[in-house]
Chains A and B, each alone.
Chain A
Amino acid sequence: MHRPRYRTLMIMALTAAAIAPCAYAQAPDPGKLVTAAFDYWRGTASISTVKMTVHRPDWERSMTLKAWTRGEKESIFFIIEPAKDQGNGTLLKDGQMWTFNPKVNQVIKLPPSMMSQEWMGSDYSNNDLAKSDTLLIDYTHEVTGTETDAGKKVYLVKSTPKPRAPVIWGMQKLKIREDYVILREEFYDEDMNLVKAMDASDIRPVDGKPFPMVWIMRKADKENEYTRLDYRDLKFLATLPDRLFTLSNLRNPER
C-alpha cells in the first residue's frame, strides 16, 4: 500500500505564497531549483476559494472550499457548498489533521492509520494534504532535461529518495518552469510505475505572479477518474493571525 508522504501540491496551491526572489536561473542547481519552486508556492499566507470536482466514470461531485493557509504547515478549510455539507472543516497543522462536523458538533483528530485514506473521496489522500515537504527533505534531485512551454524554459527534474529515508514514493518527477511554476508532478511506486500525476494549467497572474488556477490529479491507469481543483478566488498575504489555525476556530469559525 502506498502511503503518500510527499509535499503536496494541493497544499502548495492552497499555501500559495509571496513571491520568491525571481532570480531566473541559468544552469540551476537541481536542489535549489526544487526548493525555489516550492518556496514560490509556499510563501507566507493565502486566502482562497477552491472548487473541487471529483470525477468518476459514472459519478461526479463538486464542492467548494474556502481555505486559509500560512506557511507550509498550517492550513484550515471549510466546505461552503453544497449547503448540505456547509460548515464541515479541516485543520492541518504540523502533519496532523483534525476534522469538524457541525451536525455532530465534534472535532475528530484523524488517527495515523487513516492518513493514507483518500480525502473526501477524492484522488488526494489525507497524507497528501497533511504531510509537509518530504520531497525537499527526503529526496535528492537531478535535472534530466529541458523543454519549452509558451516560450519559457521548463526543467525536467527527477527526485529519488535518499537512502533509508522514510518515504513511500520510489521516485517523483517534476516539471518546473524557469519562473518556478510547477507544471506537473508525477508519483511513482517503488517499482518505478507511475501511480498518479498532477497537472497544473490555466496559469494567470495572481497578485502579480503567475499561478496555475486549475490542478488535476489523475490516477495513472484511469483516464476517466480524476480530481480537479479550480481556484475561484486567491489572495496572497504577508501573514495571517495565529488564532485562525486553532481547534477553536475549527469549531467556531470566524467567517
Chain B
Amino acid sequence: MSMDYRMAWRNIWRNPRRSILTICAIVFACALLVFMLSMQFGSYYSMIDFSVRIHTGYMQVQAKGYQKEHNIYQVVPQPERVARILSSNPEVRAFTYRANAFSLVSSRQRTYGALVIGIEPDRETQVSTLKSLVRKGEYLAPGDGTRALVGDLLARNLKVDVGDELVVLGQGRDGSVAATVLTVKGIFSSGQEDFDRSTVNIPLDTFQQVYSMDDAVHEVVVMGRNLRDMAGLKREIAASVEQLPDGRSLVVLDWMELMPGLIQGIKIDMMSGVIFYLFLVVVVAFSILNTFVMAILERTREFGVMMALGTSPGRLIRVLLMESMTMTAIGILCGIGAGVVVTWYFQIHGIALSGADDILKQFGIPDRIYPRLSVWSIAIGPAAVFIITFFTALFPALRVRRLRPIAALGHV
C-alpha cells in the first residue's frame, strides 16, 4: 500500500462519524437505485408477459408483409411444416395457428366492422389467456362449427348475448364473398379495449371453410419457455423456417415487432423513470458534496502544514480523491449488497398490490409485482452514483490548489 493511500485511509477514519454518514448516503442511494430499477424492469417484464399472453405470443410466423398490410391472401401455406420445426425445438413451449379477416359483423339490430379470428380451441389455451377471459357462456370446443366467442364491448355494441345469432360478411382468400351465420357461445373481456371491441373468435376449421383458406393460416403463434431467451429462439426458428421451400416468403416476428406500441410505452415510461433517478442521484450528489466540502474546510490548517512541509498540491489532491473514492467504493459495494438482498427478498415473495387485487385478477394480471434483478438493474444506478461522486469530490479537492500555505496555517 503506497504512502499516499495509507494517508487517505487514515484520514477517512480520523473522523469516523462523518465518513460513515457519507458512506451511508451512498449506500442508501445505491440500494434504492438497484431496487427501483429492478422494480421497474420487473413491472415491464410482467406487463410484456401479460400482453404476449393475451394475444400475440412471444413470436409469430407470418407471410412477409402480412403484419403491415393484413391482406387475407398473405398466408402461411401448409402451416404443418412450420409446426414440425416448432415441435422439434425444446425451447418452444406451445404454439397454435390463427387466421384473421376483417369483416362486417351484424346482429339483427346493428352492424360493425370487426376482426374475425379463427383459432384452434385446444392449442389456443396453451398460448393465450383467452379461455380464462370468458365471462359469460363457454369457451370454444373442437368441432364447435359456427359458434363464436365475442368481445364484451362488441357484444354490447351489437346488442347480442350468448345464444344469439350473428351474420358475418367479408372477403375470402380467393376474393370471393365470405358469409356465414354464427351463434354466440361465449363473451370474453380482456380489459384491452380494442381487443374486446373488435374481435370475434371462431374455430379455425370453420374460418378456413368460410374464407376459402384451404389449410392455410395467417399466423403461427409461438410461446417460448422464457421471455429472456427469446432472441436466441427467434434466430433458431427463423433459420429453420428459411430452409423451407417457400421460406423466403415467411418471416418470424417477435412481440416487439408485433406490438410496437408496447415497447414505445415502455420507452416513454423508462424516460420518466430516468428523470426521477437523475433527481435522486443529484440529491445524493449534493449531500456528498456537502460532506466533502466541510471536510476540506475543516482541514485547511492541516493542508497548510502539509504544504509548508513540502507536499505538492497535486499530491494533496490525489490523497483527497483517494479518500473520497474509497468511501464511494465502500458505499457502492455495501449499497449493491443491501439493494440485492432487499430486491432478492421481494423477487421471491413479491410485493402485493393492495386494493386492486380483484380487478387485476379478473384480467389475469398477477396481483403481486416481482422485481427482477439483472446485470443492468444492478449496475446502472451504482455506476451513475460513482461517476457523479467522482466529480463532486473533484470540485472541493481542486480548491486545495488555491490554498496559500501561510494563509492556510493561520486558519483555525
- Check if A61 sits within 8 Å of B180, measured CB to CB: no
Q: How many of A's residues come within 8 Å of B, CB to CB?
A: 25
Chain A residues, CB < 8 A from B176: 82, 84-85
Say yes or no: is B111 at the interface (Cβ < 8 Å to chain A).
Answer: yes
Say yes or no: is B174 at the interface (Cβ < 8 Å to chain A).
Answer: yes
Task: Give the residue name and chain of the A residue nearest to B112 (CB).
Answer: A111
State the majority secondary structure of interface residues on A: mixed
Q: Given A85-B176, A121-B171, does the pair A109, B111 have CB atoms closer than 8 Å?
A: yes
Say yes or no: is A120 at the interface (Cβ < 8 Å to chain B).
Answer: yes
- Check if B180 sits within 8 Å of A104, measured CB to CB: yes
- Check if B169 sits within 8 Å of A108, measured CB to CB: yes
Say yes or no: is B73 at the interface (Cβ < 8 Å to chain A).
Answer: yes
Task: Give the residue name and chain of the A residue nearest to B171 (CB).
Answer: A121
Interface positions, chain A 98-151, Cβ under 8 Å from B, are 99, 101, 103-104, 106, 108-111, 113-114, 117, 120-121
Chain A residues, CB < 8 A from B112: 111, 113
- Check if A61 sits within 8 Å of B167, measured CB to CB: no
Say yes or no: is A79 at the interface (Cβ < 8 Å to chain B).
Answer: yes
Say yes or no: is A44 at the interface (Cβ < 8 Å to chain B).
Answer: no
Say yes or no: is B181 at the interface (Cβ < 8 Å to chain A).
Answer: yes
* Minimum CB–CB distance for B352 against chain A, Å: 42
* Minimum CB–CB distance for B75 against chain A, Å: 11
Say yes or no: is B113 at the interface (Cβ < 8 Å to chain A).
Answer: yes
- Check if A110 sits within 8 Å of B111, measured CB to CB: yes
Say yes or no: is B306 at the interface (Cβ < 8 Å to chain A).
Answer: no
Say yes or no: is B208 at the interface (Cβ < 8 Å to chain A).
Answer: no
Complexed CA–CA distance, A113 and B111 (Å): 10
Specify which of A82, A101, A113 is in contact with B169 (CB 8 Å cutoff): A101
Say yes or no: is B383 at the interface (Cβ < 8 Å to chain A).
Answer: no
Chain B residues, CB < 8 A from A117: 102, 113
Chain B residues, CB < 8 A from A111: 110-113
Chain B residues, CB < 8 A from A108: 104, 106, 111, 167, 169
Say yes or no: is B238 at the interface (Cβ < 8 Å to chain A).
Answer: no
Q: Given A61-B174, A84-B176, A88-B177, does the pair A104, B111 have CB atoms closer than 8 Å?
A: no
Say yes or no: is A54 at the interface (Cβ < 8 Å to chain B).
Answer: yes
- Check if B113 sits within 8 Å of A101, measured CB to CB: no
- Check if A114 sits within 8 Å of B104, measured CB to CB: yes
Interface positions, chain A 54-97, Cβ under 8 Å from B, are 54, 56, 58-59, 61, 63, 79, 82, 84-85, 88
Chain A residues, CB < 8 A from B106: 106, 108
Mark each residue of chain B from 106 to 138: 1 if its CB lies under 8 Å from any CB of chain A, else 0. Answer: 100011110000000000000000000000000
Q: List 20 A-B contacts (CB under 8 A).
A: A54-B175, A56-B71, A61-B174, A63-B175, A85-B177, A103-B179, A104-B167, A104-B169, A104-B181, A106-B106, A108-B104, A108-B106, A109-B111, A110-B104, A111-B111, A113-B113, A114-B104, A114-B111, A117-B113, A120-B177
B contact set with A: CB distance below 8 Å:
71, 73, 102, 104, 106, 110-113, 167, 169, 171, 174-177, 179-181
**Known contacts A61-B174, A103-B180, A117-B102, then 8 further A-B pairs from the complex at CB < 8 Å, ordered by chain A residue:** A56-B73, A79-B177, A82-B176, A101-B169, A103-B177, A104-B169, A106-B106, A109-B111
Q: Would you list the 9 A-B pairs with minimal beta carbon distance, nearest first?
A: A61-B175, A101-B179, A108-B106, A85-B177, A114-B113, A104-B179, A88-B177, A103-B179, A104-B167
